[in-house]
């Protein structure tokens, strides 16, 4: 596990929490997250790096894209936190944009992950 301060810092921002919720069940690259969150890629990348440095993400590089998802060893902890906080799903708008964006993955610039599929 990561240092407690880094762990809680990674969670203590609304944008980072939204990213965490989006990559709990599937791997996404920064450009996909930026489209879903309607933010510049540079901002999303900065947030992803904070989460990554806290040791909460696993990654897979495919060509020039890197896909991120929550490290599977942390899923029980996150699921427990979500149950206790009453936060069962990502924000509805994020969920809708994620579904729409992932439907376009095959025709977009992002080839999709291979190893981090499930």
* Domain range summary for the chain, segments of one domain joined by +: 4-101
pLDDT digits (tens, 9 = 90+) for 22-64: 998 889 999 999 999 999 999 999 999 999 999 999 999 888 8
Assigned CATH for 4-101: 1.10.10.10
66 backbone dihedrals φ, ψ, rounded to 5°: -120, 125
Residue labelled with tokens 């510049």: 40
How does pLDDT run across 84-102, given as a tens digit for each residue?
887 666 678 888 898 888 8
The closest of 34, 4, 5 to 19, measured between CA atoms, is 34
Output the pTM of the full model.
0.85
* Closest to 15 measured CA to CA, from 79, 65, 56, 38: 38
Radius of gyration of the chain measured on its C-alpha atoms: 14
DSSP 63: T
d(CA 117, CA 82): 23
């Amino acid at each position: 596990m990561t240092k407690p301060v880094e762990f809680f810092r990674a969670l203590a921002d609304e944008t980072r929490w939204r990213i965490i919720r989006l990559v709990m069940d599937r791997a996404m690259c920064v450009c996909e997250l930026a489209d879903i969150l309607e933010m510049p890629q540079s901002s999303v990348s900065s947030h992803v790096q904070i989460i990554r440095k806290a040791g909460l993400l696993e990654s897979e590089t495919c060509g020039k894209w890197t896909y991120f998802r929550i490290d599977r060893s942390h899923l029980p902890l996150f699921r427990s936190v979500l149950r206790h906080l009453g936060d069962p799903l990502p924000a509805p708008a994020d969920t809708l944009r994620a579904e729409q964006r992932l439907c376009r993955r095959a025709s977009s610039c992002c080839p999709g992950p291979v190893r981090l599929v499930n």
